[in-house]
Structure 1
Amino acid sequence: MADVNQGAVPVAELWRGGVLEGVHLGHAVICDANGVVEAWGNPQAVIFPRSSCKMVQALPLLESGAAAARGLTQAHLALSCASHQGAALHVEMAGRWIKDLGLGEEDLRCGAHDPADRDERDRLICAHEVPCQLHNNCSGKHSGFLTVTQHLKAGPEYVELDHPLQRAILAATEEVAGESVAGAGIDGCSAPNFAVSLEGLARSMALFAVAREGYGARQDAMFQLTRAMAAYPELVAGEGRACTELMRAMGGKVAIKTGAEAVFVAIIPEKGLGIALKIVDGGTRASEAAIAHLLVRAGVLEAGHPATLKRLNPVQKNWRGIETGQLRIAAGFA
Structure 2
Amino acid sequence: MLTGATMTRDQPHRVLNIRDRAAGRRADTFLSLRFPSTSRSTFAKWIKEGMVQSDDRTLKPSSVLRLGETLRIWSPGLAPTDGPPPTPPILFEDEWLLAIDKPAGMLVHPVGQRYAWALIGLVRELRPDARIDLSHRLDRDTSGVVLLTKHEDANRAMKAAFQSRKVSKTYHAVVRGVVPWEERAVEAPLGHKMGSEVQLRRGEDPEGDSALTHMKVLSRMAAHTLVECRPFTGRTHQIRAHLEIAGFPILGDKLYGQPDNVFLELLDHGLTDRVRALIGFPRHALHAQSLAFPHPKSGQMVKVRAPLPADMQAIVDGAVPTWAAEAAVEDEVDTIEEEAE
Q: Please report the TM-score for the alignment, with normalisation by the length of structure 2.
A: 0.28
TM-score, structure 1 normalization: 0.29
Bigger RCO of structures 1 and 2 (CA < 8 A, at least 6 apart): 1
Q: Which has the higher helix share?
A: 1
> Which structure: larger Rg?
2
